């Protein structure tokens, strides 16, 4: 009798603890950032930046050293960054901030970041030295 009562109390306690978790609370806001491709060449490359914010009224803001100033994406959630000859090869970070407006201020709900690589284009000279080709047949 004591064992069955202990099992019933333990099962009730576990069921009660399972209901008191974060299931009833609202989930935390999340920011999702994708950069396709993860690397490109200097001078002729393009990067597609795809953003998503989990909260409905949030506005994504994308910032990086590749851009002259942070870009606020009010209408869409996609951005294309063109890489010019002035961009130096190396690693760059692209930041995403999901912001919401409260009165006159903008507050950051969530943030994400990705790293991309810009590679240098190696020039191929037209006057390459070709290896000498020997004649297979010899005159008889």
Proportion of the chain above pLDDT 90, given as a percent: 44
pLDDT digits (tens, 9 = 90+) for 7-42: 444 444 444 444 444 556 778 889 999 999 998 988
Q: Identify the residue with better confidence: 129 or 17.
A: 129
Q: Look at residue 108 and tell me whether its pLDDT is greater than 70.
A: yes
Supply the pLDDT for residue 7.
43
* Angstrom distance (rounded) from CA 112 to CA 101: 19
Q: Where are the domains of the chain?
A: 31-118
pTM over 0.75: no
Q: Look at residue 67 and tell me whether its pLDDT is greater than 50.
A: yes
Supply the pLDDT for residue 117.
94
* Beta-carbon contacts of residue 119 (< 8 Å; ≥ 6 apart): 39, 40, 41, 42, 89
Q: Retrieve residue 122's tokens.
A: 């190696």
Supply the pLDDT for residue 122.
77
Compute the mean pLDDT over every residue in the chain, rounded to the nearest whole number: 79
Its CATH architecture, for the domain 31-118, is Sandwich (2.60)
Supply the pLDDT for residue 10.
44
What is the helix (H) or strand (E) element at residue 17, kind and residue range?
A: helix 2-19
Supply the pLDDT for residue 135.
58
The pLDDT confidence band at residue 49, using thresholds 50, 70 and 90, is very high
Supply the pLDDT for residue 130.
55
> Rounded to the nearest 5 degrees, what angle is found at the Cα of 107, between the Cα atoms of 62 and 52?
40
| Mean pLDDT computed over 29-58 | 91
Q: Identify the residue with better confidence: 88 or 129.
A: 88
């Amino acid at each position: 009798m004591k064992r069955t009562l202990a099992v019933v109390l333990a099962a009730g306690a576990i069921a009660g603890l399972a209901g008191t978790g974060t299931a009833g609370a609202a989930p935390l806001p999340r920011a999702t950032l994708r950069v396709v491709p993860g690397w490109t060449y200097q001078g002729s490359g393009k990067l597609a930046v795809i953003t998503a914010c989990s909260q409905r009224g949030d506005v994504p803001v994308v910032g990086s050293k590749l851009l002259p100033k942070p870009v606020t994406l009010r209408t869409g959630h996609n951005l294309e960054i063109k890489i010019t000859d002035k961009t130096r090869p190396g690693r760059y970070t692209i930041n995403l901030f999901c912001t919401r407006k409260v009165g006159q201020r903008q507050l950051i709900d969530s943030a994400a970041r990705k790293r991309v690589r810009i590679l240098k284009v190696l020039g191929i000279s037209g006057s390459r030295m070709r290896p000498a080709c020997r004649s297979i047949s010899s005159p008889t």
